[in-house]
Amino acid sequence: MNDAFRPHAFADESLLQQALTHRSAGPRHNERLEFLGDALVNLIVAEALYRRWPKADEGALTRARAGLVCESALAVLARELHLGDRLALGPGELKSGGARRDSILADALEAVVAAIHLDAGFEACRAAVLPWFAAGIEALPAGKVGKDAKTRLQEWLQGRQRALPEYTLIEATGEEHDRSFKVACGVADPPLRAEGTGSSRRGAEQQAAAEMLRLLEAADD
């Protein structure tokens, strides 16, 4: 196994095996470990940001953490650690390309974090996991993580006492492991519509919100 993925020798190899087993592959799967790992990842990253940015407010810290631990970001880390090559998947997931799917990869990464914690304790877990996020934390502008497009659009509308936007899924295309989403964002005052695309519905909504905000600001000039 890649050394970066295996930062310590497991005393209980069954924990690692369980962490890498999707529910489609058998009854002893990684969902409970994923639940615990989600909390651990959030804590480890939150603590790192808290120490790195002593003057940042709660909003900036929350936005930074959200960007670092979201599904797509965790899936990127999982790919860098070659988790997909190690996953145990049922026949259906194997056929549909589950080893490449963001949700499965992100869940497996969190499950591995929990496995390390249960095997060696929190300090060993933090020492192993924190380097995975080091580059992402280093790349953040100190204490100044901007709000996402949907939040900025909502605040723009609320500040002018206007109705909130509505998001509508136009279409979802592609195979299960390689989906593409198109979403429309509509506002009533003035009546405008913007569209966005992305590999997730959330990403498409963010793109649509950014385009809507551009249209509104142009119309407001």
Q: Which residues form the catalytic set?
A: 38, 110
The token pair at 178 is 């390689």
Q: 53 to each of 45, 58, 61, 146, 206, how far by Cα in Å? A: 12, 11, 8, 15, 26
Q: Which amino acid is at 17?
A: Q
Q: 221 to each of 195, 214, 217, 218, how far by Cα in Å? A: 22, 11, 6, 5
| Peptide bond connecting 7 to the previous residue in cis, omega within 30 degrees of 0 | no
